[in-house]
Chain A
Amino acid sequence: MELDRKYMGINIKEDRNLRLNASVPYETATFSRRFHNRILFVIILLFFFCSTTVFAASSSSSYKISASSLSGGGGGVSSASYKLANLFTDLSLGYRVSSGYSLGEGFNRSNYIGATVFAPIITGITPSSGSSGAVIEVTNLAGANFSSGAIVKLTKSGATDIQGTNVVVVSGTKITCKFDLTGAVSGYWNVEVLNSDGRSGSLPSAFNVGYVAPTVTSITPVKGRNNEYVTITDLAGTNFRNGIKVSLTKTGELDITGENIIVGSTSKITCLFNLTGKSSGLWNVVVLNDDNQSGTLTSGFKIETLNLEVLSPVKSSKTVFNPSSTALNSSGPAVLEYQLSKDADVTVFIFNMRGEKVWEYKASAGTSGGSAGINQVSWDGITAFRAYASAGVYFVHVTTIENGAIKTISKTKIAVVK
């Protein structure tokens, strides 16, 4: 007995041996074939549709995924294009590689095999700043999709690009290189990476080029007294800029700020310091450019406490002196004149040739004989022991007390005759 049935267009016949035989009528087979062809056609259409949107090639025959479609800037991992790329992976139409996405086996036959389809991504650069004129070594240009042979450069609108040297693509996520910033204008520069396949990535305003830090090599004069203004005629160094600040610093002391600062050149400054009342000792000379970069000359300037000095040594109005009553009446006493730098307690001693102190004159600071400026002390030729000085040589010592000890600051000789 034969049982004929038809199921979904397939004829099923049972023979006498109770075996089932299925056959597809021509129409059904044709329909099925048509149905599958239609699905394939739709897929192909869909693929080409995606090719025009996702795989928008840079060239007319492009088969690569555009950089923007997969980069963060182009929508990132949440973008439709990224999802689409994943879709290709899921569909085994493409596969994910470290440097991007490559098309799958199904595309190999269409010459899509091994192609890098994602542009480099830059997420950071270390260091992120450098001084103009310096050579900066970038230790970590971080990102993704870096490929061997990548080119790194700094770009800035209106400025010549700075090409990175010694570029080493450590991995797809790290590059090291050097930038020679000689002549580089200051400001923020973009960092760009250009892979060998022509794809590039950029991190805008990621690198700051500053000015070179100033240095201080010398200062003239090298010292001053703490009762005066001192004019610095030549503060020498490098990379001085207008707006620079100059100061003297010392641990535990307030800074002494320079006044009337004139930047004569990048290597010379003149200025003025008020040292009045400042502590003595060695001070550091510090310059601070307007970009907050500084230079220091350690212990480069010395502030001295004003010492008593004899600006003009003691001199007798009578180098040959005859101290007798008649001579004194006719020519007067010997006037000892000297000039001091400041008020001080001063004692004038006169010694004879035997080393005996035979006369003295004490003057307190600020009084006659102990005042800043010219002082005059008279000696009538009579010793402290009420006798006229005998013939011989007498020694005039102008002294003060320094550190508890007598210090002779000036002396002269007087020839005494009869």
Chain B
Amino acid sequence: MRSRMIKRIFLIALVCIGILIDPYKVFAISQADDAAVIGGGARPLGMGRAFVAISDDSDAPFINPAGIANLKRPQALTMFTSILNDVYYSEYNGALPSIYGTFAIGYITTGVNDIPYDDSGLLTNYYDDLFVLSYSSPLSRFFGYSKNVFVGLNYKLYSRGYTGGIDFYGTGMNFDLGLKYVLNQYLSFGLCQQNVLPASLGGVIRYNTGASEALVKQTKIGVAIKPIFFNGNILLAMDADLPSTSGRPMLAHLGGEWKVVKGLELRAGLDQSVDPSLESRAGWSPSFGLSLGALGLRIDYAYHPYYNNPELTTNYVSISYTGEPVFALKGGPTSDVDGSSGRGN
């Protein structure tokens, strides 16, 4: 028993070390950002993006792909928002649990219209699309133990460029690795590294101009707690985004969710974003959210101001549907910390 525990801890530590080592912390290398940095659907955004250790919805591939292994039912989710009142952002994803693990697919399309590109006032548009294929499974599927440890993998394809006027476009690919450890029904941990594939191995976006950009590596760790005092109706989470480049600060995320009654959940969070205005280079913003669900259908809303600027307040709305189980999930946990796995409301 003790030897199993040691092996388990060793394995987790190894994975963590491997993920946290970042060979790309260099100055002034252009790195392309990732549309997934927005943070999944309206539920995690309402919780201040503290969701790595929860990630139990079909939008998990955009946060921690290991989370979809918790799903027992197929689920689809879509989200819409407008960032800075200038950037359209739409997200679509779906997950299907099976005896071989949980498969998911995700698509984010975002862009900007009416960009001036010469002095005559001609305008063009910019698109930035992300396509994700995701797989997640309990680690026990491969090792015969650690059935409460889940791993996930994203394969991501990027496509971005201008629709006219400016001859510039590019495509690229990369991978995300995720880990989720459900210690018991009250405590779980999450770990995800986005864009793990180094540029030398093709983890870049290549443009038609011959230039290429490495994709920003993003490491997220988190913990989720379900206090025993509230009959399992309160869920608290905390995440940290570890800097992938030396110039960026670590960002923290705090969030909570209160299941008021079945079908109604309220959320609040504190979300940290990079902010060069501050000495710490990071500033907090509040976020709020609620969820209404019935008959498998759920609508989530998140209200998220940024930088204490009312003009930058962003509203997120996502709609999800959870269907009936299609396949029995082999090796799934009997329970998990968030208790909402495969929720069908």
Contact between chains at A413 and B115 (CB < 8 Å): yes
Interface segment among A181-189, A298-306, A387-395: the answer is A387-395
- How close is A280's CB to chain B, nearest CB, in angstroms? 24
- How close is B139's CB to chain A, nearest CB, in angstroms? 32
Whether A384 sits at the interface, judged by CB under 8 Å, is yes
Chain A interface residue count, CB cutoff 8 Å, equals 39
Whether A379 sits at the interface, judged by CB under 8 Å, is no
CB proximity to A under 8 Å, residues B26-62:
27-33, 35, 37-38
- How close is B24's CB to chain A, nearest CB, in angstroms? 11
Give the chain B neighbours of A354 by CB distance below 8 A.
Answer: 33, 35, 37-38, 83
Give the chain B neighbours of A159 by CB distance below 8 A.
Answer: none
Give the chain B neighbours of A16 by CB distance below 8 A.
Answer: none
Give the chain A neighbours of B32 by CB distance below 8 A.
Answer: 390-392
Whether A319 sits at the interface, judged by CB under 8 Å, is yes
From the candidates B38, B117, B207, name the one contacting A391 in the complex (CB within 8 A).
Answer: B207
Whether B213 sits at the interface, judged by CB under 8 Å, is yes
A385-B247 CB under 8 A given contacts A391-B213, A392-B33, A413-B116: yes
A392-B115 CB under 8 A given contacts A354-B38, A355-B83, A407-B311: no
Give the chain B neighbours of A325 by CB distance below 8 A.
Answer: 28
Whether B276 sits at the interface, judged by CB under 8 Å, is yes
Residue of A nearest to B212 (CB): A418
How far, in angstroms, from A356 to B307 measured CA to CA in the complex?
A: 9
Chain B interface residue count, CB cutoff 8 Å, equals 54
Contact between chains at A324 and B30 (CB < 8 Å): yes
How far, in angstroms, from A358 to B216 measured CA to CA in the complex?
A: 14
Interface segment among B160-168, B184-192, B288-296: the answer is B160-168
Most chain B beta carbons < 10 A, residue from A353, A360, A406, A413: A353
- How close is A95's CB to chain B, nearest CB, in angstroms? 97
Whether A405 sits at the interface, judged by CB under 8 Å, is yes
From the candidates B83, B115, B306, B312, name the one contacting A415 in the complex (CB within 8 A).
Answer: B115
Whether B209 sits at the interface, judged by CB under 8 Å, is yes
Give the chain A neighbours of B37 by CB distance below 8 A.
Answer: 354
How far, in angstroms, from A383 to B276 measured CA to CA in the complex?
A: 9
How far, in angstroms, from A169 to B90 measured CA to CA in the complex?
A: 92
Residue of A nearest to B121 (CB): A319
- How close is B333's CB to chain A, nearest CB, in angstroms? 33
How far, in angstroms, from A407 to B30 measured CA to CA in the complex?
A: 31
Whether A382 sits at the interface, judged by CB under 8 Å, is yes
From the candidates B28, B33, B128, B160, name the one contacting A388 in the complex (CB within 8 A).
Answer: B28
Interface of B toward A, CB cutoff 8 Å: 27-33, 35, 37-38, 83-84, 86-87, 110, 112, 114-119, 124, 126, 128, 160, 162, 166, 168, 170, 205, 207, 209, 211-213, 245-248, 273-277, 281, 306-312, 314
* Pairs across A and B, CB under 8 Å, 26 listed: A319-B115, A319-B116, A320-B166, A347-B277, A353-B83, A353-B128, A354-B83, A355-B83, A355-B312, A358-B276, A359-B276, A384-B276, A385-B274, A386-B28, A386-B245, A387-B27, A387-B245, A387-B247, A388-B30, A392-B126, A395-B84, A415-B126, A415-B162, A417-B168, A417-B207, A418-B211
